[in-house]
């Protein structure tokens, strides 16, 4: 009996001991679970604080919370107001030390996210958990130092070029040097020498230097951009000027600085206004097309910018990069030889503004759009002027299509009155009773006034539209600010008479009248084109036939202008026969009024219009420029 009792007692004792050990195991497991939970909670809160900006509310080992929050703000300031998405991918704990991987995703730009993993450690040695600060490395970006800051920059791919009708570059990417003054190093003497070298107003650049130094600005002061050939010719002189710098870059360059300048436009640093209106496409420091076709098609030519994130320590070594998309070339209908011939001819107008537009008779394509001065407005496409006697082409087309014969006698007195409007001929000319063909060749205003009495109020308007003046093609040329020709329907006898010889309220651009000449030469109206690619929406390039009999007679009359009339200066022009019409249009309120000089016509497959803004007459001023144009083109 005693043994069993002992056995029973021993058994009972064993049960008590086993129960106590189970309690110890349970308590230890609960403690470990609490440590895991505490570590995970802190690291999760830390990840969330990256996103919502609450880093100053986290406990840290080795740094004050405010210092850690300031470090994050300084390092990532270049990323703007973007907030990263941060999550914990894994957490491991050993005793009072825990480690984790954070998955970090920064929204950098549309469709691009910078993603990376960032290690983090936490410690519970002090009895409560804290994130371990890392004084030797960045806590925010792997592989960079603690004092490095992020730098975000835009990158651009290869810019597309503007090509001619044959696919050869008109605007090709070339090297330029931006001559600038470094205000921290430049002296007055060096800047004065630079003024002389670049042709700046004496004292102007020195004043800019003084303004920069007074304000404490360290930014380079821009002076001038040189093409490579121009730069190389001045390099040795620039090298001798301490504080003058010339960083190299690439930009689109035409054959010459003046080549089709108003049409092609300019390229340079974006303005603050352009940045503000760009909906984020441009930022300060970008270069872009600023005017003309370069501005109109900048999104095509420049492509889509990329973006790079680097550090201030290694700004050219990307931590993240979204590559740019290269630009696409724009193809024009221009012909370089024709454009050069046009620009050369316009030098003959001296300081008087002038323009010349040439059209391919077969296709309606614009071959040349030239202006003088070359840095002025685009008179060729955007300027409208009274067309004067060049509009007699449209008036005559209407008259011929309604039965007038070139042999019909129409008197040409020195003056006539219609609806109270007295009209005189140029220089008081009078030719008596002559065939209409002679009236046309000599551009007799009074003959046209008399004939206007047989016309309807809309006749000249309708004929001009049929020939391309005011036909609406300017909406589909693919160029900004193209002017629309206007030949309003007459509202009175006097207005109908003045409209018949291109006065009253009539307006046309040189392009309008070149299109008109091409229509007569072709025998149909075809909407002109300037931009071949990318395709311009809405353009109708189909041929709209004209009255064959009337056009045949009109061509003969325009040839007569050259052989026997006001355009005889053209008769010795090399090449095929020239057809034309002179125009002298009055404008303004002076007495006697000022005049624009015009000559329109064609030779072979090239139709053209020449305008000289203040010219005595079309035959004496504009026609010689047309002859120079054709002579060069045939050379």
Three-state SS string over 115-155 comes to: EEEEEEEEECCCCCCEEECCCCCCCCCCCCCCCCCEEEEEE
pLDDT tens string 135-174: 999 999 999 999 999 999 989 999 999 999 999 999 999 9
Radius of gyration of the chain (CA): 40
- Going by pLDDT thresholds of 50, 70 and 90, the confidence category of residue 426 is confident
How does residue 13 score in pLDDT terms, banded at 50, 70 and 90?
A: very low
3-state helix, strand, coil in the chain (%, to 5): 40, 25, 35
Question: What percent of the chain stands above pLDDT 90?
Answer: 90
Listed in sequence order, the residues at least 6 apart from 529 whose beta carbon sits closer than 8 Å to its beta carbon are 333, 363, 364, 365, 366, 477, 478, 536, 539, 541
Strand partners, 424: 415
CA neighbor of 527 nearest in space, from 603, 601, 466:
466
- The residues with which 132 forms a beta bridge, in sequence order, are 61
- DSSP string for 495-530: HHHHHHTT-TT-BB-HHHHHHHHHHHHHTEEE--BS
Whether residue 1 has pLDDT greater than 80: no
Choose the weakest-confidence range: 166-170, 353-357, 412-416, 425-429: 425-429
Q: Determine contact, residues 340/495, Cβ cutoff 8 Å.
A: no
Spell out the SS3 assignment of 212-262.
HHHHCCCCCEEEEEEEHHHHHHHHHHHHCCCCEECCEEEEEECCCCCCCHH
pLDDT at 376: 87
pLDDT at 561: 98
| 11: confidence class by pLDDT, cuts 50, 70, 90 | very low
Residues 332, 530: Cα–Cα separation, whole Å: 5
- CATH T-level topology, domain 2-135: Nuclear Transport Factor 2; Chain: A, (3.10.450)
Copy the structure tokens of residue 322: 């979204």
What is the per-residue pLDDT for 10?
30
3-state secondary structure of 365: strand
pLDDT confidence of residue 350: 94
**Residue 195, C-beta contacts closer than 8 angstroms, at least 6 positions apart:** 201, 202, 203, 204, 205, 206
pLDDT at 480: 87
Q: For the chain, what's the residue count? A: 635
pLDDT digits (tens, 9 = 90+) for 288-324: 999 999 999 999 999 999 999 999 999 999 999 999 9
pLDDT in tens, 119-145: 999 999 988 999 999 999 999 999 999
Residues near 583 by Cβ (< 8 Å), separated by ≥ 6?
387, 388, 389, 390, 391, 392, 443, 502, 596, 597, 598, 599, 600, 618, 622
Instruction: List all residues 6 or more positions away from 32 whose beta carbon is below 8 Å from its beta carbon.
Output: none
Percent of the chain with pLDDT strictly greater than 70: 95
What's the rounded mean pLDDT across residues 234-249?
97
Q: 196 Cβ partners below 8 Å, 6+ apart?
A: 202
Residue 568 clears pLDDT 70, i.e. is over it: yes
Residues 400-404 have a mean pLDDT of: 98
User: By the 8 A CB rule, do 240 and 252 touch?
Assistant: no
> Rounded CA gap, 325 and 306, in Å?
7
Task: Please write the tens of the pLDDT for every residue from 242-275.
Answer: 999 999 999 999 999 899 999 999 999 999 999 9
Stretch 520-528: mean pLDDT = 98
pLDDT greater than 90 at residue 6: no
Cα 431–435–440 angle (5° rounding)? Answer: 75
- HSE (CB half, 13 Å, CA atoms) of 627? 17
* Sequential DSSP letters for 177-202: EEEEE-TTT--HHHHHHHHHHHTPPT
pLDDT, residue 88, reads 95
So where are the chain's domains? 2-135, 162-332, 336-633
pLDDT at 27: 58
The whole-angstrom separation of Cα 162 and Cα 369 is 15
Q: What is the edge-to-edge ordering of all strands in the sheet holding 366-372?
A: 366-372, 354-360, 606-612, 594-603, 578-587
CATH code, residues 162-332: 3.90.1310.10
What is the CATH code for 336-633? 3.40.710.10
Say what the pTM is: 0.85
Q: Which of 10-19, 27-36, 227-236, 433-442 has the lowest mean pLDDT?
A: 10-19
């Amino acid at each position: 009996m005693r043994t069993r009792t002992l056995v029973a007692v021993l058994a009972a004792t064993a049960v008590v001991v086993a129960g106590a050990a189970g309690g110890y195991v349970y308590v230890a497991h609960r403690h470990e679970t609490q440590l895991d939970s505490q570590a995970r909670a802190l690291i999760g809160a830390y990840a969330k604080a990256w996103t919502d900006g609450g880093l100053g509310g986290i406990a840290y080992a080795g740094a004050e919370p405010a210092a850690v929050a300031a470090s994050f703000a300084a390092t990532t300031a270049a990323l703007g107001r973007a907030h990263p998405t941060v999550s914990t991918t894994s957490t491991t704990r050993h005793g009072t030390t825990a480690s984790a991987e954070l998955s970090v995703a920064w929204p950098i730009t549309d469709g691009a996210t910078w993603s990376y993993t960032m290690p983090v450690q936490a410690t519970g040695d002090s009895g409560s958990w804290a994130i371990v600060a890392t004084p030797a490395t960045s806590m925010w970006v792997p592989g960079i130092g603690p004092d490095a800051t992020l730098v975000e920059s835009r990158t651009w791919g290869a810019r597309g070029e503007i090509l001619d009708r044959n696919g050869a570059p008109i605007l090709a990417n070339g090297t330029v040097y931006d001559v600038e003054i470094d205000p921290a190093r430049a002296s007055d003497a060096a800047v004065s020498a630079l003024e002389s070298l670049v042709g700046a107003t004496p004292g102007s650049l020195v004043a800019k230097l003084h303004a920069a130094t007074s304000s404490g600005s360290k930014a380079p002061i821009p002076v001038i951009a040189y093409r490579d050939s121009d730069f190389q010719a001045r390099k040795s002189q620039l090298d001798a000027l301490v504080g003058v710098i010339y960083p190299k870059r690439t930009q689109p360059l035409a054959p010459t600085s003046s080549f089709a300048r108003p049409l092609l436009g300019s390229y340079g640093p974006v303005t603050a206004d352009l940045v503000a209106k760009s909906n984020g496409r441009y930022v300060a420091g970008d270069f872009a097309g600023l005017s003309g076709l370069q501005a109109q098609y900048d999104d095509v030519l420049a492509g889509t910018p990329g973006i790079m994130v680097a550090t201030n320590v290694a700004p050219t070594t990307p931590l993240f990069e979204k590559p740019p998309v290269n630009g696409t070339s724009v193809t024009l209908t221009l012909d370089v030889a024709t454009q050069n011939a046009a620009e050369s001819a316009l030098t003959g107008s001296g300081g008087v503004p002038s323009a010349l537009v040439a059209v391919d008779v077969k296709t309606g394509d614009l071959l040349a759009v030239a202006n003088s001065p070359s840095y002025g407005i685009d008179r060729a496409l955007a300027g409208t002027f009274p067309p004067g006697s060049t509009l007699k082409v449209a008036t005559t087309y209407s008259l011929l299509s309604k039965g007038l014969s070139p042999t019909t006698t129409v008197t040409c007195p020195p003056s006539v009155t219609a609806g109270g409007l007295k009209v005189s001929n140029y220089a008081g000319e009078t030719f008596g009773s002559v065939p209409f063909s002679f009236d046309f060749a000599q551009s007799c205003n009074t003959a046209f006034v008399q004939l206007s009495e047989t016309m309807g109020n809309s006749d000249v308007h309708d004929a001009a539209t049929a020939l391309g003046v005011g036909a609406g093609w300017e909406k589909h040329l693919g160029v900004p600010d193209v002017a629309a020709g206007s030949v309003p329907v007459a509202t009175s006898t006097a207005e109908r008479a003045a409209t018949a010889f291109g006065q009253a309220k009539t307006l046309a651009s040189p392009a309008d009248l070149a299109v008109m000449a091409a229509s007569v030469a072709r025998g149909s109206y075809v909407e002109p084109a300037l931009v071949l690619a990318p395709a311009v929406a809405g353009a109708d390039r189909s041929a709209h036939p004209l009255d064959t009999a009337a056009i045949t007679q009109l061509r003969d009359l325009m040839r007569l202008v050259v052989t026997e009339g006001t355009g005889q200066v053209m008769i010795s022009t090399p090449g095929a026969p020239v057809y034309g019409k002179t125009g002298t249009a009055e404008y303004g309120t002076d007495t006697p009024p000022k005049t624009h000089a015009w000559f329109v016509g064609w030779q072979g497959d090239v139709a053209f219009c020449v305008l000289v803004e203040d010219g005595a007459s079309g035959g004496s001023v504009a026609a010689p420029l047309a002859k120079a144009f054709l002579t060069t083109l045939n050379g």
